[in-house]
Amino acid sequence: MQKLFLIVGLIFFSTQMFSQNHLSGVVSTPEGELLTGASVLVNPGNHGAVTNQEGEFKLSKIQQQQVTLTVSFLGFESLRQSINLSETSFVKVTLTPRSHLTEEVVVTAYRAGNKTPVAHTDLGREELQKAGAGNDIPSLLKLTPSLITTSESGTGLGYTAFRIRGTDPTRINVTMNGVPVNDAESQGVFWANMPDFANSVENVQIQRGVGTSTQGSAAFGASVNFQTTTSEPRAYAELSSTAGSFNTLKNSLRMGTGMINDKFSFEGRYSRLKSDGYIHNAFSDHQSLYLSGTMHFDHSFLKMIVLHGDQETGISWWGVPQELLETNRKYNPAGVYTDEFGNEQYYEDQTDNYKQTHSQLFYSVAPSDRLHFTAALHYTRGDGYYEQYKEDEAFADYALPNINIGDATIENTDLIRRKWMGNDFYGATLSGNASLLPGLDFTFGGGWNQYDGNHFGRLIWMRYAGNTEKEHTWYYNNGLKTEYNLFSKLNWQVSPALRTFVDVQYRGINYEMSGEDDDLMSLTQEHDFSFINPKAGFYFTPDQQNSLYIFAGISNREPTRTNFKEAKNLPNETPQAERLYDIELGHYFQSATFSSGINFYYMLYNDQLIPTGKKNNVGNDIMTNVENSYRAGVELMTAIQPASWLNWDLNVTLSRNIISDYVETAANSFPVMVNGEILMEDGEQVWDSETITKDHGDTQIAYSPSITGSSNLTIEPLKDFSISVLSKYVGEQYFDNTESEARKLDAYFVNDLMLGWSLFPKSFKQLDLQFTIHNALDHKYESNAYGGNWYEQGQEQTWAYYYPMAGRYFMGQVVIRF
């Protein structure tokens, strides 16, 4: 791995000399009106410019003589033209007004542009499809800078998640077409509820750091913005099938009508996935449906989207106990119980079951070439439960009386319970973009969203039921959360080389909880938050190959439902809102065969809620506020293409993630002494406990490795045939905040080998074949863990659970496009 980093460094700081050409021109309408602010792009080399007030542009230091010129402007058809710079260095470009407004305007207000001073990565549909057959969203994004993935099943299917710069999923803002996706209460995203979502994604932008203002939960370290598939001009059908290890089988059918009478278009997809998973009973049985319809007008469109997911997944969120990690890596404690004869049994229906339907309606209109608006209505319905077999549960814990049989009193029973959720999430958003003056762009937006969710538990079987009613409900509570926001952004081209960016957002939140929790304790409480999140930056392009930027921003975030739940009986421990100050400084270099980027970041937190390493009874992280902490690092990115058949993309992140003066609070147990002797009751020692504190000084934040890196080396020995080696390195990371060696994940370096072949037979448009060997070197590693400690007579004791990943396994995919 050290050799890899050395190569990256040498590539990054190397320079190359090429012959240089230049190109200039003017952009206008068919009527001769000069277009100010048109985007001009020349490839190879990704040289870019924006036309000035006279519609003119100039590009210099172009390495190639044969180039492709692309010119685009809102409301006009883009133009692509091949140019030989040895024959001409000046072009006149005429753009034709579009008959339809493009669907990309739905996400324009929330995206960072090419010259926005924000660290970001853009991935298109083709890149996502090449990232791996059959994987969920986290696995498809795993090679992007500073991102690491986790998987409970061990295969990248089922319950998966990702962190960016060590930031956990509840702090990463996720939107779909500008509509919030994060669950309002937990603030996380459960990708299992959106099966095969990647198959309906047109493109995605990942912003690292505070980023630009968006809808929904706080972007408290990163944001991910998805745009779903857009209308295609011609009818199509696509059939894909993925099969591989662990009895994995996924089939998907996509189809679209193309443009009907130059006005209507419809698309649909159905997917079905089944997999056993690597971990015992970590199976996935998922299906999903995607439907969209668009009506196009001269300068507007109306679009409706429905995304439905239906999943049954084996519960595996408890992980594997540390003592079994070497001898039984596939062990799953969820569902294990002892029958009346003392035999260990396994409850096969220990499952999570959930249905979720996203509905979105958009109306976009462009009253003029320099102004457009998008309004959206959205509604998401979710229903589901997880089922558990529980042993020797006390009747009192379920608000039930003991059972008397003769002279005997039964106080405990085995039972099967279901914990239910039923929720509605709905709201409206509005955004707009206006070109006020040449080089001055104004973006604005806002939204109102409300979440109304019920949580309740039911007993569906009891060994000793007595007079208990069928499906006894032992708790019921409701969460009502309202969030509203307003934001505005200003981009000003101060000079041909300098662009400024200003962004400010207001967020208001009201969160009410009422009813009893599953421990029969009251959850009733109400919280209000008001946040102002300002950002600003500069983007400087001294020439066509180099660009520099600086960014500063503030983000505020409210605690989650779990944070409040865990402190419900501790009035002095009510979690506080967090604040993040983010400073970013970056540089990009681009040439015909080589590009590089470097981004420095410093993220200072006040009252950051950090994971303690422990989980609650549904697998959520238990958090605690720390007064001062920070993340500081450097992200290095480079891409080299010395020949048309060879491409190598690499990135490395080096960071420090520190809690200042971390003080641990823990319980210390000790035997009760009476007259110098240990007190005994019923033949057992009587223990008492006290609270102790331990000052650890500066410690590393849990789940925050100080080094991560990715590599994608692709060669094409034959036309339309590629061989790729995908590599991921994640350094060691602690899973609590004490830097204990007993609670640490080892570093890992994993390599996948991928073969891809595209064929174009006469019977259909295209046939794509992909075969992937995951973890090709059969490396044994764990992607995640949790644990904790306690003290007995002053001596530390520890416990831990891990999430092992599968060794070498295989996936193959066939995609036929008609």
The count of other CB atoms within 10 Å of the CB of residue 436 is 12
**Amino acid symbol at 87:** E
592 phi, psi to nearest 5 deg: -65, -35
pTM to 2 decimal places: 0.88
Distance CA 571, CA 585 (A): 41
Write down the pLDDT at residue 613: 54
The count of other CB atoms within 10 Å of the CB of residue 79 is 17
Write down the pLDDT at residue 366: 92
Contact 438, 37 (CB under 8 A): yes
SS (H, E, C) 11-57: HHHCCCCCCCEEEEEEEECCCCCECCCCEEEEECCCEEEECCCCCEE
Residue whose C-alpha is closest to residue 731's, from 705, 712, 755: 705
Distance CA 299, CA 530 (A): 37
The pLDDT tens digits for 564-610 are 988 776 666 788 999 999 999 999 998 878 999 999 999 999 998 87
Q: Which residue has the tokens 């190879």?
A: 44
Contact 135, 162 (CB under 8 A): no
Non-local (6+) Cβ contacts of 572 within 8 A are none
Distance CA 244, CA 132 (A): 12
- Beta bridge partner(s), residue 649: 639, 712
Write down the pLDDT at residue 10: 43
Q: Which residue has the tokens 């955004």?
A: 431
Write down the pLDDT at residue 341: 87
Residue whose C-alpha is closest to residue 757's, from 692, 815, 683, 699: 815
Pairing status of strand 646-671 against strand 782-792: parallel
Contact 655, 706 (CB under 8 A): yes
- Both tokens of 550, joined, read 């600086």
Domain ranges of the chain: 1-98, 236-817
Write down the pLDDT at residue 693: 87
Q: Which residue has the tokens 């190569």?
A: 7
Q: Where are the alpha helices (DSSP H) in 79-198?
A: 105-108, 125-130, 137-140
**What three-state secondary structure class fits 230?**
coil
Query: Which of these CATH numbers, 2.40.170.20, 3.40.50.1820, 1.25.40.10, 3.40.109.10, describes 236-817?
Result: 2.40.170.20
Running DSSP on this structure, what letter comes out for residue 778? Answer: -
- Both tokens of 762, joined, read 């006469």
**What three-state secondary structure class fits 5?**
helix
Residue whose C-alpha is closest to residue 805's, from 320, 322, 352: 320
Domain 1-98, CATH: 2.60.40.1120
- Both tokens of 483, joined, read 């969030």
Distances (CA, A) of 309 to 111, 182, 194, 446: 26, 15, 5, 28
Write down the pLDDT at residue 13: 42
Contact 335, 350 (CB under 8 A): yes
Extract the residue ranges of the chain whose pLDDT is less than 70: 1-20, 45, 74-75, 98-100, 133-134, 569-572, 611-622
Write down the pLDDT at residue 407: 86
The pLDDT tens digits for 352-378 are 999 999 999 999 999 988 899 999 999
Q: What angle do CA 500, 219, 374 make, to 5 degrees?
A: 70
